[in-house]
Structure 1
Amino acid sequence: MKWLYKYDEKFNYLPGEEIEIEEDGDIKKGYTDVRPQDGLYKGKYNEEKRAWYELATREYIDSLRPNPLPPPEMDLLKQQNADLLQQLAESEERAENQSKNLSELIMLLTEKEVI
């Protein structure tokens, strides 16, 4: 027994239309015993070369791919935590600078005997 793979009048592969015949049986019109390779999106048969090739464009293939899944919740929480730690460090640095500036201002006013 051997499998035959069907194509239409334009030689486009028709998946699911395969038939099985005896090993020495005649190949019907619109069929071939050349198996299409895995991974074809829109297979097209070339009778002269007895080979299948990809007819689908890159844009068509890309349009069939699902959108990437959002990152897992744990990854989002880790990123938010890192962002908050960065903001905290920046706030502490600003507070330290303000405290330093205030101390310098008080010392300057004391030296000038303003306070």
Structure 2
Amino acid sequence: MKWIYKYDDKFNYIPGEEIEIEEGEDILKGHTDVRPQDGLYKGKYNEEKRAWYESATLEYIDHFQVKPLPTSDMDLLKQQNADLLEKLAESEKRAKEQSKTTSELVMLLTEKGVM
């Protein structure tokens, strides 16, 4: 048994019209035993090359691409909150570093008798 795939008089693939025939049985007119590859939007058969190719325009294909959803107010607030928490953590780190530097300077000034 083998599958054959149907195309119309313009060689456009007709999905869902596949049929199974016995090995050695003649392939029906308007059919081929060459399986169309996955991912074709508008498959077209080339009899001479015994191959399928994409005949859909980029505009047609783009029509089926998933468009990203607009960012919701909640998602926007979550992102802003995350950004603010990151900035706060950086500020706290800098404050600790400045405090340490100030302490070291006071110790040095004390050791030198300036203070």
TM-score interval for Structure 1 and Structure 2 normalised by the shorter chain: 0.5 to 0.7
- Corresponding position of 1:32: 32
Q: Which moved further from structure 2: 38-47 or 67-76?
A: 67-76
How far did residue 76 of structure 1 move?
1.7
Q: Deviations over 1:48-77 (max 9, x none)?
A: 000000000111100112321234665322
Amino acid at match of 1:9: D
- Corresponding position of 1:46: 46
CA distance in 1, matches of 2:68, 2:18: 34
Determine whether 1:6 maps to 2:13: no
- Give the TM-score of the pair, scaled to structure 2: 0.65
Superposed, 1:1-115 pairs within 5 Å as: 1-71=1-71, 75-81=75-81
Amino acid at match of 2:70: P
How far did residue 80 of structure 1 move?
3.9
CA-atom RMSD, angstroms? 2.3
CA distance in 1, matches of 2:68, 2:20: 39
Q: Which runs of 5+ in 1 are unaligned?
A: 86-115
CA distance in 2, matches of 1:38, 1:24: 26
CA distance in 1, matches of 2:43, 2:7: 9
Amino acid at match of 1:56: A
Q: Secondary structure at the match of 2:78?
A: helix
CA distance in 2, matches of 1:61, 1:37: 16
- Once the two structures are aligned, what percentage of the paired residues are identical? 80
Q: Secondary structure at the match of 1:15?
A: coil
